[in-house]
Amino acid sequence: MLKRTLVAALLMMVAAVPHAANPKPAPDPSIGSYFWFVALNQRCEAADPARDAALARFRTHFLVNGRKIAASLPAASATGFLNALNDMEKNGPPKESMDHVNAILSQVNPAETRQLCLRAAVDIDDRIGIENKLAQAQAQSQSGVWRGEDGKPVAETESMKSQNDFAGSMLLTTDEDWQEKWNTPPESKPHYNKAEVVPYGKKVFTMIFFSNPLRDTDGVVNVKCGLKISDPSGKVSFDQQDMVCYNGKLAGSPYHLYLGAPVVAFSGDPGDPSGTWSVNVTLRDENRHITLPLRSTFELK
């Protein structure tokens, strides 16, 4: 009979946020914003249809992006954000924001202000283009789609899948030191030996990974997992569902890779049939109501 052991797995991030040494003061983020160009336009002496048209495009861009941001926020935060956005759409930029950018523009001499007005239409379109590229890059880097070291999406497999930005994978390894390898500095890349042909008595560890689980309004994620092990004839040797893979608040970015708990270790007894054994994992993001079916195999010999 296949021997099984439940092993408690520590949850660790494999990615880290870099810290800059001696950071320089950042420029005021209001410079170049939609509010900045609205205030600048009010200071321009000559009318310019091209500038007006560009500013109208920026307004639409600002509102559309604002609603996208609101859609990604918890409900409690999204309501206030949308109310402020709707008020701005109806009544124009808030007085506090306009007072701030006007204070900056008041320090610009008239000649420089005229130059800013002359090139405002081009600057606005450049700003929209930059923001669109940044949003696209962020969406690519912060998605649950599996990507290679070059940042490009990689083909999904039976053991590595994603859906609606929730990603999951599994690994069968014979490494007894799997936990020591995982608990290494974030910049290191642990290498695991995949369980392929496994002799009787050799332990096989099932590691379950996930990324970007959906947080509820309190910032809590709830990931469940199930595990089923079947022999070459299809007979189920082990089946346990609805295990807690992770429940609580994440210590870091949801886009980091997390190791679920528990890790299940098993080994073949002399009476177990040789051949291809299959391990099926169901990884479920309870907040998204999405389940990823994962599967891997090894040869018991």
Average pLDDT, the chain: 83
Q: Residue 76 and residue 80: Cα distance in Å, rounded? A: 7
pLDDT of 80 reads: 84
- Mean pLDDT computed over 205-229: 92
Q: Note the pLDDT tens digit of each residue in 243-273.
A: 999 999 887 778 788 899 889 999 999 899 9
- Is pLDDT above 70 for 144? no
Q: Are 121 and 53 within 8 A, CB to CB?
A: yes
Q: Residue 59 and residue 70: Cα distance in Å, rounded? A: 17
Percent of the chain with pLDDT over 70: 81
- Mean pLDDT computed over 105-123: 92
pLDDT of 138 reads: 57
Q: Are 119 and 187 within 8 A, CB to CB?
A: no
Band of pLDDT at residue 16, cut at 50, 70 and 90: very low
Residues in the chain: 301
3-class DSSP assignment, residue 2 = coil
The pair of three-digit structure tokens given for residue 8, joined into one six-digit string:
């408690």
Q: Note the pLDDT tens digit of each residue in 48-107.
A: 999 999 999 999 998 988 888 777 666 767 788 888 889 999 999 999 989 998 999 999
pLDDT of 11 reads: 32
Q: Residue 144 and residue 153: Cα distance in Å, rounded? A: 10
- Is pLDDT above 60 for 283? yes
The pTM of this model reads: 0.57
pLDDT of 29 reads: 57
- Count of CA atoms in the C-beta half-sphere (13 A) of 34: 20
Q: Which parts of 72-149 fold into alpha helices (H)?
A: 75-91, 95-105, 110-118, 120-141
The domains located in the chain, with CATH, are 34-141 (no CATH), 148-300 (2.60.40.3880)
Q: Are 273 and 1 within 8 A, CB to CB?
A: no
3-class DSSP assignment, residue 33 = coil
Range name among 10-19, 80-89, 203-212, 244-253 with the lowest pLDDT average:
10-19
pLDDT of 230 reads: 96
pLDDT of 48 reads: 94
The pair of three-digit structure tokens given for residue 232, joined into one six-digit string:
């070459």
- Is pLDDT above 50 for 121? yes
